[in-house]
A and B are shown apart, each in its own frame.
Chain A
Amino acid sequence: MIKRRIALLSLCSVLLWPVAGWARDGGDNWGRLSPQERENVRRNYQRWQNLPPQDKEHLREEWDRFKSLPPDQRDNLRRRYDELRKQRRGDRR
């Protein structure tokens, strides 16, 4: 009886392994990110935990404001940010 239960549980575990992996990955969201983006999220999350409450509040407000912008403006800002970042990296080198 116990052997059968163990066998059944093992079988269920094998069948549910892909689902568990998918859930562990946070569904599709995390899987869609590139390795660089994942690293960026990790770093920012760690930084966020050490931020003072007023800075967190400020960033939340900025996020809400950014989301309320029209899509073309958001794209422009992202592009501008990427350019500035590349420029800074170039200056450092």
Chain B
Amino acid sequence: MKLPENTLPTACTDFEEDLVLHYYGDGSEAERNRVEAHLEKCAPCRAFLEDLRRLLPQMAKPNELPQSFWDNYYRETLAKLAAAEERKFRWRNLFVPMRAWMLPAFGTAAVAVLAVALVFTKGHWHFSLKQPGESIPQEILVDTNQLEFFKSMDMLEALSKLETLDGTKLETVNSRG
């Protein structure tokens, strides 16, 4: 029966392990001499060692990668690290170019706004937190119609009487009729 090409022939059981160590150059001087003495006498062990020399370099052949791969790998790693760093400080970096001019610019803007406000309000500023309309809701203050209504409420209560005195109610009724 023919053994497969890549199968190691059988060596002496006691020497199998020693042969592998011998192949790798391990073991003491005495051990090496003992194995070599045995090899001179034993053909299967010689064949086993020969096959080890033939097969093991193929099995343990390192997967050598070209230098260009490592160069690319290095560049990509650096790029990824830089991107991660940039993501980490993105918001902080957003304001970096502004910092130099931000303070004087905002300061100037603040002074300009204050000056314009002073001019237009003629210095009549009131800084109290009290509502000017006191208990009047904001929706009434901003609604001209509502404000006019409350301004005219006294007159509205007397509207019918005023119309009678003025003769306008009769005219209105007549014109509607």
Contact = CB atoms under 8 A, between A and B. Distances in A.
Provide the main secondary structure of the chain A interface.
helix
Contact of A25 (B132, B152, B153, B155): B132
Interface stretch (B23-31, B78-86, B162-170): B162-170
A77 B133 contact: no
Given A41-B133, A41-B150, A65-B159, A29 B166 contact: no
Interface string B137-155: 0101111100101111111
B106 interface: yes
How many of chain B's residues touch chain A, expressed as a range? 35 or more
Contact of A38 (B109, B125, B133, B152): B133
A21 B114 CA distance: 13
Given A65-B159, A69-B168, A27 B152 contact: no
A81 B131 contact: no
Interface string A74-88: 001110110011000
Given A45-B140, A59-B157, A63-B149, A15 B110 contact: yes
Nearest to B160: A62
A69 B110 contact: no
A76 B150 contact: no
B139 to A, nearest CB: 9
A16 to B, nearest CB: 9
